[in-house]
């Protein structure tokens, strides 16, 4: 699954698992008894006796615990402030722990399903072929019950038989909240159930739901239990032998499911059917079916062994013309996976369906990927260059899951990073090979620092393999995905590309067709290369962002350079194994004296020596960002002269950019501290680096130039201070931006015009050079439009941006112009309003373009922005029921510095929205709630205002498990 969704989830600051209950006190036990067929709930502070009675009388409680008598936890604050009723206890969520994993004694080895889809009611008939789990010794006396998961709020059980015998509730099976327990079924038995579901009312978008005029499924992580009763966990891998879909032929002419099409035909009453079969065993989270009125494009791909694979991409008929770039990306992905990893696709058919209402970015269901429209539809008129890049990356991501996720999947959800971290790494490598490796690395690290570092520093901090969770939906975090990818990258850094490939080959050889763990992956890497990775394994259990400090010296007489590295982390089992890639540059010529070398930092403090150096050198440390750490100078102050040198001459593209970013950051913080930048050497270094980069007309990597000119984001800057003042950061960054714009006005305008001339006659292309030219030109315009203190400057800035919009030949340039205009006030207001209206009219109802329209306005730097956002929320085109639309307005506003207005009005607005949203879609509401949980990072006044809104959310009745977990952690 693609959660990272670079655009869609930039605002997703945190959604994570719970830590071990050992972090809380006192113990709380939830006891559930059945008295006269009714559930009786007890919350026992202090635990329970062996007889099941409370050791301490139950009264106050309202936090984390487990059902069924297992121990759990509760914060002291909650104990002192909350009262548990039978109603709230029954609704309270369950905390699941990794240490408690047990394999199923009975499994489903094969399943057949029949869907009869009617408006307002869908019947699902399932045949489950049950057998003993060969991995479990079913000795006499062993509990052989089969536990089937099922969401009773979504399922209505109509019939149930075992080996053609009708079963009796209470005797043959028991229905409990979320479960159907089949009592001691005989081996090799067949369970048949029929349930009724209502996809049209499924606003959670989990299970089978209706998106506009299309029925589709989303089963990861726990959506299959909203379709039928089943062991809905990844270690039960079954063959979905026959899946039959039946629906109205007129309304839903396309019927799709996993695998290969076996048969199709017409039925009475203008209905039709299709039967699909997937020969590969898979967990339930990879099940998928779709019924809709869809258009498509078709192509084929011939594998390296000569097999022909039919490729089909589906969307609503009006959007078919936007599918070609996705098709091209798919074929590039298939070729790349063969070339780099020797992995072929294994079915005869590969389908992708674009869905407008979708919680995530995309989903890798075997042979039938379902995509958020934002990550599959793209053309010149509606998609930006960033959109094109994301389409290619996400198409690759889901395709690569066919092996890293589908053929080899997770034993349990605690191992989620096994498939997601690995596949994110693979899609990053693919995107780097298709475009610019240096640009791709910069973009990935920017995203990591903006989201994952913030997650590490907040209440939702957790290792890439957490120890517990309450809501699995909250487990899809930047830590699991993006930091998980960095851990995979470190394997490759330590072992080399050839060694990493050897490890991957052994991993597939050992585990193809299995559900495995992160430890299995590590073992394959270690065994294939004959190395000990036991210390490296600590990364899987260590939360937080490690800090590596450095100091160095050059000894002229001995011609030795000494680099001392010190690490600090939250590892409880000793120092981490951190690969630090280092190069040494000649201080005079800038040439690499020592090319990139990987240093193994395994101790808390280590000194590395480089001998036989003819002269002094400048170290380039953490090249290519070789580990997800914060690198700081041991002295507390960076050598800005060395930074300026690296910004000008470093042969490593990433570190060249990084040095400039550090200089920008230093200057912004000096302005925040009230220092006069004109008296600062930092200002001189920044001017030197900025001017040299701007006027480097020889470089053809325009994107690198553009990124080198761009200032650090406000979210990146916020991660570098102990107490965040978002308004001060916003103002200081804006001040530096305007100062540079004024200092280099003529050079910026010259470069802007030169790029305009160079691009004027060329056709639209989505290649590295064309994207880079547009990116650099738009950066120049952005700087020029930041100069608008006087009425004359406002008029000039508005004229430049408006002309840029009117002459735009693609969505990239239109969006760049609108971004500038959206924040204009005073004399620029009329141009702003004109272009905002024109952009809306030209969208002609296109959903993805309208999302941009909402998002750009929500991020505008205007004094009355909250009022504008409230008005947009009431706009006829806005709805909370569509995740993309919700994110485009509400999520975008939470990234605006105005969200943190000292009045607290922004926080109140978000809380009010969440109260509306949580009953509709808990996954989205919980992620949006992440904008409030970092209250401890802010000044006392803002922190208190944020906490107050969290406390109000904690009192919601009812409250989803997803929201409960986030709010509870935020208040802890």
**3-state class (DSSP) for residue 82:** coil
Instruction: Indicate the helix (H) or strand (E) that contains 400.
Output: helix 385-400
Characterise 101 by phi-psi region: left (phi > 0), alpha (psi -120 to 50), beta (else): beta
Tokens of 782: 């952005």
Strands 468-469 and 308-315: unpaired
CA distance 954 to 957: 9
Question: What 3-state DSSP class applies to 967?
Answer: helix
As a whole number of angstroms, the distance between CA 523 and CA 537 comes to 10
Is residue 398 part of the annotated active site? The answer reads yes
φ, ψ of residue 392 to 5 degrees: the values are -60, -45
Which tokens is 364 given?
A: 């890798």
Q: How far apart are the first and last CA of the chain?
A: 30
Instruction: Using alpha carbons, select from 472, 570, 482, 518 the residue that is nearest to residue 15.
Output: 472
Q: What are the DSSP E strand ranges found in 612-656?
A: 617-621, 630-633
Do the beta carbons of residue 563 and residue 620 sit within 8 Å?
Answer: no
Choose the catalytic residue: 95, 398, 420, 658: 398
Residues 6+ apart with CB under 8 A from 674: none
Q: Residue 273 and residue 285: Cα distance in Å, rounded?
A: 23
Whether residue 894 contacts residue 928, with contact meaning beta carbons closer than 8 Å, is answered with: yes
728-744 burial code (b ≥16 CB/10 A, e <16): bbbebbbebbebbbeeb
Residues in Cβ contact with 127 at an 8 Å cutoff, skipping those fewer than 6 apart: 111, 112, 113, 190, 191, 192
Q: How far apart are CA 788 and CA 798, in angstroms?
A: 9
Nearest to 331 by CA among 341, 321, 345, 319: 345
| Residue 458 vs residues 414, 452, 484, 548, 863: alpha-carbon distances, Å | 20, 10, 18, 20, 29
Tokens of 42: 């007890």
- CA distance linking residue 799 with residue 787, whole number of Å: 12
Q: Which residues face 218 on adjacent strands?
A: 207
Q: Which one, of 732, 864, 737, 837, lies nearest residue 797 by Cα?
A: 737
- Return d(Cα 437, Cα 429) in angstroms, integer: 8
Beta-strand pair 547-555/630-633:
parallel
Query: Which residues on adjacent β-strands are paired with residue 562?
Result: 553, 609
Which is nearest to 404 in space by CA: 543, 508, 290?
A: 508
Matching residue, tokens 């709380």: 28
Structure tokens at 623: 């090249």
Q: Tally the residues of the chain.
A: 972
Q: Round to whole Å and give the CA distance between 972 and 21.
A: 13
Q: What is the CA radius of gyration of the chain?
A: 29
Contacts of 874 (CB under 8 A, 6+ apart): none
Tokens 């010259």 belong to 750
Place of tokens 């789990």: 133
CB 554 within 8 A of CB 616: yes
The two tokens of residue 378 are 């793209």
Neighbours of 166 (CB within 10 A): 10
If DSSP states are collapsed to H, E and C, what string results for 523-567? HHHHHHHCCCCCCHHHHHCCCCCCEEEEEEEEECCCCEEEEEEEE
| Token pair for 388 | 């094109």
- Residues annotated as catalytic are 398
């Amino acid at each position: 699954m693609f959660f990272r969704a670079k655009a869609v989830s930039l605002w997703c600051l945190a959604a994570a698992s719970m830590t071990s209950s050992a972090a809380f006190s006192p113990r709380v036990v939830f006891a559930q008894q059945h008295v006269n067929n009714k559930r009786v709930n007890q919350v026992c502070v202090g635990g329970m006796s062996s007889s099941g009675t409370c050791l301490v009388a139950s009264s106050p409680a309202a936090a984390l615990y487990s059902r069924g008598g297992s121990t759990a936890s509760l914060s002291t604050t909650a104990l002192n402030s909350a009262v548990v009723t039978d109603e709230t206890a029954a609704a309270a969520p369950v905390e699941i722990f990794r240490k408690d994993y047990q394999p199923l004694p009975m499994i489903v080895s094969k399943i057949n399903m029949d869907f009869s889809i009617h408006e307002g009611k869908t019947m699902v008939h399932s045949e489950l072929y049950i057998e003993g789990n060969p991995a479990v010794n079913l000795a006499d006396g062993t509990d052989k019950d089969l536990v089937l998961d099922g969401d009773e709020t979504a399922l209505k059980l109509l019939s149930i038989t075992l080996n053609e015998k009708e079963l009796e509730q209470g005797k043959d099976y028991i229905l409990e909240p979320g479960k159907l327990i089949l009592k001691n079924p005989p081996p090799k038995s067949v369970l048949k159930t029929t349930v009724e579901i209502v996809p049209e009312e499924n606003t959670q978008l989990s299970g089978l739901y209706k998106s506009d005029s299309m029925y589709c499924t989303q089963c990861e992580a726990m959506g299959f239990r909203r379709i039928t009763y089943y062991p809905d966990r990844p270690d039960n891998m079954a063959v979905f032998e026959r899946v039959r879909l039946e629906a109205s032929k007129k309304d839903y002419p396309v019927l799709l499911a996993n695998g290969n099409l076996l048969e199709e035909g017409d039925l009475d009453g203008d209905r039709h059917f299709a039967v699909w079969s997937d020969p590969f065993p898979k967990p339930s989270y990879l099940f998928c079916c779709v019924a809709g009125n869809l258009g498509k494009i078709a192509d084929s791909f011939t594998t390296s062994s000569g097999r022909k694979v039919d490729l089909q991409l589906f969307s609503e008929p009006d959007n078919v013309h936007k599918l070609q770039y996705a098709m091209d990306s798919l074929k590039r992905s298939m070729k790349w996976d063969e070339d780099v990893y020797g992995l072929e696709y294994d079915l005869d058919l590969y389908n992708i369906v674009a869905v407008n209402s979708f919680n995530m970015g995309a989903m890798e269901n075997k042979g039938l990927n379902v995509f958020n429209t934002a990550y599959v539809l793209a053309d010149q008129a509606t998609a930006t260059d960033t959109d094109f890049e994301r389409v290619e990356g996400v198409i690759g991501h889901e395709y690569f899951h066919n092996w890293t996720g589908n053929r080899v999947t997770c034993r349990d959800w605690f191992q989620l990073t096994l498939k997601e971290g690995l596949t994110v790494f693979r899609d990053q490598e693919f995107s780097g090979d298709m475009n610019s490796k240096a640009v791709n690395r910069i973009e990935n690290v920017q995203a990591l620092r903006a989201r994952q570092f913030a997650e590490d520093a907040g209440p939702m901090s957790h290792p890439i393999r957490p120890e517990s969770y309450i809501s699995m939906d909250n487990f899809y975090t930047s830590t699991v995905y993006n930091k998980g990818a960095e851990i995979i990258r470190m394997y490759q850094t330590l072992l080399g590309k050839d060694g990493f490939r050897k490890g991957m080959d052994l991993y597939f050889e050992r585990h193809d067709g299995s559900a495995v763990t992160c430890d299995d992956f590590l073992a394959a890497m270690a065994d294939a290369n004959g190395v000990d990775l036991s210390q490296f394994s600590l990364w899987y259990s260590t939360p937080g962002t490690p800090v590596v400090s450095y100091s160095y010296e050059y000894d002229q007489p001995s011609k030795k350079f000494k680099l001392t590295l010190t690490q600090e982390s939250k590892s409880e089992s000793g120092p981490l194994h951190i690969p630090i890639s280092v190069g040494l540059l000649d201080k005079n010529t800038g040439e690499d004296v020592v090319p990139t070398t990987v240093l193994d930092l395994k101790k808390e403090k280590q000194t590395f020596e480089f001998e036989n150096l003819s002269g002094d050198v400048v170290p380039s440390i953490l090249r290519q960002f070789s580990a997800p750490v914060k690198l700081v100078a041991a002295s507390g102050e960076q050598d800005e002269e060395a930074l300026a040198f690296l910004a000008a001459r470093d042969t490593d593209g990433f570190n060249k950019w990084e040095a400039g970013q550090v200089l920008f950051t230093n200057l912004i913080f000096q302005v925040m501290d009230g220092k006069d930048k004109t008296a600062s050497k930092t200002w001189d270094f920044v001017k030197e680096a900025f001017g040299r980069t701007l006027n480097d007309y020889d470089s053809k990597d325009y994107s690198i130039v553009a990124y080198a000119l761009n200032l650090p984001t406000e979210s990146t800057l916020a991660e570098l201070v102990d107490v965040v003042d978002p308004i001060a950061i916003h103002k200081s960054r804006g001040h530096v931006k305007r100062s540079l714009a004024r200092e280099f006005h003529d050079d910026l305008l010259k470069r802007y015009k030169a790029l305009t001339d160079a691009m004027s006659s060329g056709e639209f292309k989505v290649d590295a050079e064309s994207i880079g030219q547009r990116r650099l030109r738009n950066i120049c315009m952005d700087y020029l439009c930041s100069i608008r203190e006087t009425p004359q400057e406002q008029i000039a800035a508005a004229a430049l941006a408006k002309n840029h919009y009117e002459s735009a030949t693609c969505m990239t340039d239109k969006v760049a112009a609108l971004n500038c205009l959206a924040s204009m006030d005073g004399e620029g207001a009329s141009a702003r309003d004109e272009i905002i209206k024109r952009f809306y009219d030209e969208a002609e109802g296109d959903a993805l373009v309208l999302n941009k329209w909402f998002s750009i306005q929500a991020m505008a730097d205007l004094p009355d922005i909250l009022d504008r956002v409230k008005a947009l929320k009431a706009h006829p085109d806005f709805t909370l029921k569509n995740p993309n639309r919700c994110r485009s307005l509400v999520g975008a506003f939470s990234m605006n510095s105005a969200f943190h207005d000292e009045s607290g009005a922004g926080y109140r607005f978000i809380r009010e929205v969440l109260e509306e949203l949580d009953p509709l879609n808990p996954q989205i509401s919980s992620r949006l709630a992440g904008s409030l949980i970092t209250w401890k990072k802010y000044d006392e006044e803002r922190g208190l205002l944020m906490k107050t809104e969290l406390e109000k959310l904690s009192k919601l009745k009812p409250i989803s498990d997803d929201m409960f977990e986030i709010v509870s952690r935020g208040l802890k």
